[in-house]
A and B are shown apart, each in its own frame.
Chain A
Amino acid sequence: MNHGPLKNRVCLLAITAGLAILLAGCATVDPHPFQQYAAAVKEAGDGLDKVLVQDIDWSRDKYIENVLDGSVNLAHTAILDRKSAFTVSFPESGGVTVKPTFYQLQDARVTLLNLNEATEKYINLLGTLAGSTTLNPKTFDAMAKETDASLNSIIKKLDAQVPGNAVHLFSVGSAEIARLIIEDKRRDALVKVLTESQAGIDDYCLRCLKLLMILDESLATDYSAKAMVLEGNFSKISLEKRAVDPKARSAVEHLLQLNSDYLALVHALKSAKNIYDALPQGHRELLKSVQKQPTGFEAIKSLYEEGKRLKSIYDELNKPAAASTAKG
C-alpha cells in the first residue's frame, strides 16, 4: 500500500502549523500609538509656537504704547550700539542691558523652533522604527514569490495533493520568518532608543512647561497693558457723548474681542500644558508596548485627544476676526 501522498500532506501540514504558531507568537510592533504620540507632540509644539507668536505681537504693542505714554524711554531702550566687530547690543542702564521683552520672546521662539525640530526628528525616527516603512515590502514580496515558485516546483515534481490554504501559508512562510527577524531587531532597537531617551523627553517637557508658565505671565501683563489702553480711550470720552460717539462703542467692542482672544490663548496654553504633562508618561507607555507589557495607552489616548483640541483652539484663533483684534 502506497502512503506517499498522505505522508506528503502530513509533512506539509506539520510545517505549516509550526509556522502559523511561530507567526502568532511574534506579533509585530503596533505603530498606531507611535503615530498618535507623534501627532500630539506636533500639535503641542505648533500650539506653543502659535501662542508665542501672538504674545510677541502683544508684547511689541505694549512696548510701543509704553514709549508713547512716556513710561519707557525710547532712547534708553531702542537705540542699538555696536560693541565690537559683528556685535550689536541693546542699550545699557546702570550696567544692565535693557532689552524689550518682545525681543527676548523672539529669541525664545527661535530656540523653541530648534527644540521642537530636534524632538520631532526623534519622534519621527521612533515612528519609522515602529512602522514598516524602513523595510521594503517589495523585498518580501520577491522573497515570497521565490519561495512560492520553489514550493510549486516541489508539488509539480511530487504531484502532491496539498490543500490550497496550506500552500498559501507555507508559500509566504520564509518571507514571514525573515520579516520576524527584522521585527525582533526593530523591537530591540526601539527598547534601547526609548530607554535611553526617556531623560531627554522628561527634560524637553519640563522646558516646555516652563516656557508655558512664562508665556502665561507675559500674556497676562501684555493683555493688561492693551486693556488699559482701550479703557483709557473709552474714559477720555465724556459720559454724555459715549452713547453717540462711535469711538466709545469701538473701544468696548475691541476690549470684548481682546478678552475673547486672551481667553482662547490661555485655553490653548492650558491644553498645551496638559500635553506636556502627559508626554513623559506616553513615552513610557510606548516602551511598555514594545516590551509587550500591559498598557492601556491612557496617556497616549488623552494626548491625542488633547492635541486635536489644541489644534481646534488655535485654528479658531487664526481666524481673521481674532487676528484683527490683536492690534486693537
Chain B
Amino acid sequence: MTNEQADSAFQALHDTQRAARMLYMDLRDAGDAAGAANAKLRANRLQNEIDNLINKELADWQEGAENVIHELSVAAETARQAVAQVEKDVKNAEKVASAMKLLDSAITIAMKLLG
C-alpha cells in the first residue's frame, strides 16, 4: 500500500466517522436517543477500522525503518573511515613540511650561488 493509498483510505474512514459523529450529536440534541446510539455505534466501529489501519501503517513503517537504520549506519561508518583516513594524512602533511625544509636548504644554497 503506497502512502497515497493509505492516506486516501484513512481520509475516507475519517470523513465517514466525522459524518457519523455529527449525526450522533444532532440526534442526541434532538432527543432521539435510539438514533443517536446507533450513530455512535457506527462511529465506534469506524474508530476500530481507523485504529487498525494506523496500526498496520505503523508496523509497516517500523519494518522499513529498520532497514534504513542499517543503511545509514553503513553511511556513517564510511564517513568515519574517511575522517580517519584524512587524519592519517596529517602525518603525510608533516612529511611535506619536512620536504619543504629541505627545499629551504636548497634555496639557501642556490641563493648563495646566485650571490
Question: B34 at the A/B interface (Cβ < 8 Å)?
Answer: no
A203 within 8 A of B: yes
Among B47, B73, B105, which residue has its beta carbon within 8 angstroms of that of A66? B47
How many Å lie between the Cα of A217 and that of B11 in the bound state?
Answer: 8
Complex contact A178–B75 (CB within 8 A)? no
Q: Are A118 and B73 in contact (CB under 8 A)?
A: yes
A8 to B14, CA, bound (A): 85
- Could you say which residues of chain B place their CB within 8 Å of the CB of A190? 82
How many residue pairs between the two chains, A and B, have CB atoms under 8 Å in the bound complex?
209
Contact (Cβ within 8 A) A115 B10: no
Which chain A residues numbered 68 to 121 have a C-beta less than 8 Å away from chain B?
A: 71, 99-101, 104-105, 107-108, 111-112, 114-115, 118-119, 121
Taken residue by residue from 50 to 72, chain B's Cβ proximity to chain A (1 for < 8 Å, 0 otherwise) reads as 11011101110110111111011
Which residues of chain B in 61-106 are interfacial with respect to chain A, using CB atoms and an 8 Å cutoff?
61-62, 64-69, 71-76, 78-80, 82-83, 85-87, 89-90, 92-94, 96-97, 100-101, 103-105
The answer to whether A104 and B97 have CB atoms under 8 Å apart is: no
Q: Which residues of B contact A228 (CB under 8 A)?
A: 21
Contact assessment for B93 and A179 in the assembled complex, using a CB-CB cutoff below 8 Å: yes
Q: Which residues of A contact B80 (CB under 8 A)?
A: 125
Task: Say whether B112 contacts A104, CB under 8 Å.
Answer: no
Chain A residues near B16 (CB-CB < 8 A): none
Provide the bound-state CA to CA distance between A112 and B83, in Å. Answer: 26
Q: How many residues of B contact A (CB 8 A)?
A: 62
B29-42: CB near A (< 8 Å → 1, else 0) gives: 10000000000000
Determine whether the beta carbon of A210 is less than 8 Å from that of B3. Answer: yes
Mask, A129-140, CB within 8 Å of B = 1, is 100001110011
Is the Cβ of B47 less than 8 Å from the Cβ of A225?
yes
Residues of A close to B6: CB separation below 8 A: 213
CB atoms of A7 and B115 under 8 A apart? yes
Chain B interface, DSSP helix/strand/loop, else mixed: helix
Q: When chains A and B are docked, how far (Å) is the Cα of A101 from the Cα of B10?
A: 15
* Contact among A204, A213, A235 with B68 in the assembled complex (CB-CB below 8 Å): A204
Chain A binding surface, main DSSP class: helix
A118–B3 CA distance with the chains assembled, in angstroms:
24
Picked from A7, A15, A196, the residue with its CB within 8 Å of the CB of B75 is A196
- Name B14's contact: one of A71, A192, A200, A221 (CB within 8 Å): A221
Taking CB atoms, residues of chain B closer than 8 Å to A225 are 47
- Distance in angstroms from B66 CB to nearest chain A CB is 7
Residue from the list B3, B69, B74 in contact with A114, Cβ < 8 A: B69
Known: A71-B44, A213-B3. A108 touches B62 (CB 8 A): yes
Measured CB to CB, the closest approach of chain A to B94, in angstroms, equals 7
Tell me if B54 and A214 are in contact (CB < 8 A): yes
Contacts of A115 on B, CB cut-off 8 Å? 65, 68-69, 72
Rounded to whole Å, the gap between the CB of A9 and the closest CB of chain B is 10
* Cβ–Cβ contact B87 & A134, under 8 A: yes
Chain B residues with Cβ below 8 Å from A8 are 111, 114-115
Given A181-B92, A213-B7, A214-B57, CB of A200 within 8 Å of CB of B110: no
A66 to B3, CA, bound (A): 28
Residue numbers in B under 8 Å from A157 (CB-CB): 108, 112
Q: Which A residues, 162 to 199, have Cβ-Cβ distances below 8 Å to chain B?
A: 173-175, 177-179, 181-182, 185-186, 189-190, 192-193, 196-197, 199
Interface residues of A (CB under 8 A from B): 2, 4-5, 7-8, 11, 15, 66, 71, 99-101, 104-105, 107-108, 111-112, 114-115, 118-119, 121-122, 125-126, 128-129, 134-136, 139-140, 143, 146-147, 150-151, 153-154, 157-158, 160, 173-175, 177-179, 181-182, 185-186, 189-190, 192-193, 196-197, 199-201, 203-204, 207, 209-211, 213-214, 217-218, 220-221, 224-225, 228, 231, 235
The contact sample of 9 A-B pairs, CB cut-off 8 A, is A7-B114, A104-B58, A122-B75, A135-B87, A146-B101, A190-B82, A192-B78, A203-B71, A210-B3
